[in-house]
Amino acid sequence: MCCKGFLKIMMFVFNGVIFLAGAAILAVGIWVTVDRVSLLGFLDHIDDAPPELAQLANLGYVLIGVGAFLTLMGFLGCCGAVKESKCMLLSFFVIVLIIFLIEVAAAVVLIVFEPLVQKFLDDIGEKVGKSIEKNYGADESFTSVWNTTMKELKCCGYNNYTDFTGSPFVNSTSLYPDTCCTSSSGRCGQVSAQQASITGCFRSLVKLIENNAVLLAGVALGIAALEIAAMVVSMILYKNVGK
């Protein structure tokens, strides 16, 4: 009886975490959807964008779906443990198992098709560079998004400062964004930007991920362990319902 009570508490804690995580993702999804113009507006300015990139515009809806799904899953697990409902416990087990298998499949696909992913990102880089050249300084929302991104990541353009060459901003001011130069170089002209050699935002993002690879791997393994533990506990409770 004591063991069963402990398992119920574990199940409640596991699913409480899942419920809160789902609620947080749901809130972020709603925010991204409401603020879509400022966050994802630059996608509308990429000419000949591949369908895969265009789907990023639906990121908010995806987050809402994932958040709602996780919230429902956490609710099922908590209620199933408290009420000792076989139906809820079994539903929870099946849902977590499906998610776990999808995560494993996604990891395998990412490893196997890594060269194709790299080529896809390189193609995207060329298209994003052209969109910067065409719209930076002419479209206010597009310019604002890039200024914020470059300031946060301390980077310059998608590839480097050359993305801005020929843009409306450079043509009208003969200057480059301040983030493309060091603070000691004064006004950011072409020579200063070339000498500063500030990394592009894509490379900065990749470097940020690489620097935190151990942390990200630990989080991924932690999530996998949590899912496996939740499945084991739910199945034990399922078999002991009514005993």
The CATH code of the domain that includes 139 is 1.10.1450
> Average pLDDT, stretch 164-186?
86
219 and 168 within one domain: no
187 and 149 within one domain: yes
| Residue range(s) defining the domain that contains residue 195 | 135-204
> Average pLDDT, stretch 132-161?
85
pLDDT number for residue 176? 92
49 and 85 within one domain: yes
**Residue 42 or 206, more confident:** 206
129 occurs within a structural domain: no
51 and 85 within one domain: yes
Average pLDDT value for the chain: 77
Identify residue 166 by its one-letter amino acid code: G
Counting beta carbons within 10 angstroms of the beta carbon of residue 96, is it exposed (0 to 12), middle (13 to 18) or buried (19 or more)?
buried
Report the distance separating Cα 166 and Cα 207, nearest Å.
28
pTM of whole model > 0.85? no
* pLDDT, tens digit, 9 for 90 and up, residues 55-72: 555 666 777 887 888 888
Above pLDDT 70, what percent of the chain?
A: 81
* pLDDT, tens digit, 9 for 90 and up, residues 67-114: 888 888 888 777 877 777 788 888 888 888 888 888 788 778 777 776
**Residue 190 or 106, more confident:** 190
CB 144 within 8 A of CB 169: no
CB 138 within 8 A of CB 168: yes
pLDDT higher than 70, residue 37: no
81 and 48 within one domain: yes
Quick one: how far is CA 180 from the chain centroid?
25
Report the distance separating Cα 49 and Cα 28, nearest Å.
25
- Would you state the structure tokens that stand for residue 89, as one six-digit string? 């416990």
Residues 6+ apart with CB under 8 A from 100: 224, 227, 228, 231
Residues 6+ apart with CB under 8 A from 169: 136, 137, 138, 143, 175, 177
Q: What is the DSSP letter of 113?
A: T
Report the distance separating Cα 134 and Cα 85, nearest Å.
59
Half-sphere exposure of 94 (CA within 13 A, CB side): 7
Counting beta carbons within 10 angstroms of the beta carbon of residue 36, is it exposed (0 to 12), middle (13 to 18) or buried (19 or more)?
middle
